[in-house]
């Protein structure tokens, strides 16, 4: 009968020699490989003590930006929420009241702004869609936690501190 493929190999069934039966050459070969790996540089990083370098295009936690005067840049246009493929961003718009001109740039602002980081895929589409450069992704790693509610970042968590109040 003709074989379908030419990949089959005839197995050598000859009896083993004394050195092969003792497995000594195989054991020494395995020890040599192990010693070679011990002497090489470690591939792991001891995380809290040393941090590994990230790529220049790494995308981490989101930040809501302020302008030079300390006013919020977000005008609640909703383009970031529309651009998000994971639907991780929710927002509610509100009208600026009299006396709040020092807080917001435009007449409309985001009264509620939330990002569900469990849904976020860190694609950066929200950053690209924003016409006011209000949201951007930093190089900060998202911290771990045991509570699901702590992964829903609200506007207060995302907004950078006011430079005028810090100074």
pLDDT tens digit string along 54-80?
888 899 999 999 988 888 899 999 999
Given pLDDT bands bounded at 50, 70 and 90, which one contains residue 166?
low
The residues near 114 (Cβ < 8 Å, ≥ 6 apart) are 89, 90, 91, 152, 153, 154, 155
Domains and CATH numbers, the chain: 62-166 (3.30.70.3270)
Q: Which residues belong to the annotated binding site for [4Fe-4S] cluster?
A: 74, 77, 80, 84, 120, 123, 126, 130
How far apart CA 114 and CA 119 sit, in angstroms, is 12
Residues near 58 by Cβ (< 8 Å), separated by ≥ 6? 139
Distance, in Å, from the CA atom of 121 to the CA atom of 99, rounded to the nearest integer, reads: 38
pTM above 0.75, yes or no: no
Binding residues: 74, 77, 80, 84, 120, 123, 126, 130
Round to whole Å and give the CA distance between 80 and 90: 9
Cα 25–chain centre separation: 47
Q: Specify whether the CB–CB gap between 66 and 159 falls below 8 A.
A: yes
């Amino acid at each position: 009968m003709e074989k379908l493929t030419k990949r089959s190999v005839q197995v050598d069934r000859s009896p083993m020699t004394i050195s092969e039966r003792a497995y000594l050459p195989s054991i020494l070969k395995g020890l040599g490989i192990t010693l070679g790996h011990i002497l090489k540089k470690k591939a792991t990083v001891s995380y809290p003590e040393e941090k590994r370098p990230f790529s220049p295009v790494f995308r981490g936690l989101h930040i809501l930006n302020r302008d030079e005067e300390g006013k919020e840049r977000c005008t609640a246009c909703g383009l970031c929420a529309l651009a998000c493929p994971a639907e991780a961003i929710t927002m509610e718009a509100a009208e600026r009241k009299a006396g709040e001109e020092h807080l917001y740039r435009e007449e409309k602002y985001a009264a509620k702004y939330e990002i569900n980081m469990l849904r976020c895929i860190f694609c950066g589409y929200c950053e690209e869609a924003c016409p006011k450069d209000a949201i951007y992704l930093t190089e900060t790693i998202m911290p771990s936690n045991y509570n699901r509610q702590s992964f829903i970042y609200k506007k207060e968590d995302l907004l950078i501190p006011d430079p005028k109040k810090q100074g």
